[in-house]
Amino acid sequence: MDRIFCPRLFLVLSFSSASYGSHSLSLLSTYIQGETQFPKFSCTTTLDDITVGYYNSEIYIPRGNMTNEDDVIESGYIKGISDYMYNSFVRRSALLREYSQTQSLRVYQTLVVCELLELDNPGKMIIKDAAGGCTTDEMAYFNNTFTYTLNVTVNITQEVLKPHLEEFKQEFAKIFYPICITTLKNYLKKRGGQVNRRITPNIRLTQKANSDSGRSRVSCLTSGFYPRHINLTLFRDGQPVSDHEITGGDLLPNADGTYQMRKSLEISAADEHTYTCSVTHLSLDNKLDVTLDNDPSRHLICAAVMMFVCVISVVLGIVIWMRRKRRQITRGMT
């Protein structure tokens, strides 16, 4: 069975996350030819990383809204855009019929993303198409400049594409781009509290020994933060650890809508370096450093100090007990 969702399509979502203060609105449409448990045509609308609506071929269903959002986008627009994309999928299926997909199941997807930069300045708009789980073509519009890229080899000549590209450019400039930017602004008015919230990360730097290999794993885990933009760096004696030594680093979602990231490093049992996990995040005024000290001499000093404190505590306890006992004996004699 062909893959229903194309991983490469989702890479476009990251372009709007490059700078703090920017926001994006995306619409992922899926058209399926063949029998599956999924709707034949569906759309998912996402504000930054929050799903705000779903269209299941029949009705548009708001997701996670705490206020009335009927005025965010006209239902006629949703139906019109969905119908247009559906017809576009049908036309594309004829053009890309030779693309490697099984005859029993054909899957086409379109991802539309528009961006709002800082100070409410409209940014880039991108449309990516996919067939059979891989990106086929891409269109981009910004500052009245339209570009088109074909990513697969199909029997489509430039002469065939040219009138369609001019038509697409006009549709971008007059319909898609203005509607997408306006809808993005409207959603930000309703959901600004969600996408603009700031949650400080929890940071843990640990070292766990592996008795089988005689080595240890140093791990820095930061979790529970929002927004997802974060910079996590492992340092050895004040110098960044090389990327090829690091494992992990993937940004993962938590069930509560926050995110987590872990980076790990294998070290020898005799390692005496000092490791630090440094984190910068929008919720922090300054970078936050957590240090793991692997200097054995310092550990011995700390242990000696703790033992000295314990001995003093025991001696003081005995002295106090003896004084109380002596007083009790003296009172009994009198």
Picking from 152, 18, 165, the residue whose alpha carbon sits closest to that of residue 98 is 152
Q: How confident is the model at residue 3 (pLDDT cuts 50, 70, 90)?
A: very low
* Arithmetic mean of pLDDT, 248-257: 91
Domain ranges, residue 237:
202-294
pLDDT tens string 37-96:
888 888 888 999 888 888 877 777 777 766 677 677 665 665 666 666 666 666 665 555
Q: How confident is the model at residue 305 (pLDDT cuts 50, 70, 90)?
A: low
Residue 307 counted as domain residue: no
261 and 224 in a single domain? The answer is yes
Q: Kindly report the pTM of this predicted structure.
A: 0.68
124: helix, coil or strand?
strand
CA atoms within 13 A of residue 242's CA, in its CB half-sphere: 3
55 and 180 in a single domain? The answer is yes
Residue 299 counted as domain residue: no
CA 96/CA 85 separation, integer angstroms: 16
279 and 182 in a single domain? The answer is no
89 and 209 in a single domain? The answer is no
Amino acid at 289: D
Work out the percent of the chain whose per-residue pLDDT is above 90. 23
190 and 209 in a single domain? The answer is no
Residue 140 counted as domain residue: yes
38 and 157 in a single domain? The answer is yes
50-55: strand order across its sheet: 60-62, 50-55, 41-47, 23-33, 106-116, 122-131, 134-142, 145-150
For residue 12, pLDDT beyond 60: no
CATH number at residue 121: 3.30.500.10
Residue 282 counted as domain residue: yes
- Looking at 195, 215, 239, the residue that finishes a domain is 195
CATH number at residue 266: 2.60.40.10
180 and 54 in a single domain? The answer is yes
Residue 52 counted as domain residue: yes
Lowest-confidence segment of 49-58, 116-125, 312-321 by average pLDDT: 312-321
pLDDT at 274: 92
Q: How confident is the model at residue 265 (pLDDT cuts 50, 70, 90)?
A: very high
100 and 176 in a single domain? The answer is yes
pLDDT at 256: 87
- Looking at 195, 211, 236, the residue that finishes a domain is 195
Q: How many domains does the chain have?
A: 2
Residue 91 counted as domain residue: yes
CA 224/CA 205 separation, integer angstroms: 15
- Which DSSP letter does residue 176 get? I
* Arithmetic mean of pLDDT, 109-131: 87
Residue 308 counted as domain residue: no
166 and 236 in a single domain? The answer is no
40 and 138 in a single domain? The answer is yes
289 and 211 in a single domain? The answer is yes
For residue 230, pLDDT beyond 60: yes
Residue 43 counted as domain residue: yes
Q: Is 206 exposed, middle or buried (0-12, 13-18, 19+ CB in 10 A)?
A: middle
54 and 105 in a single domain? The answer is yes
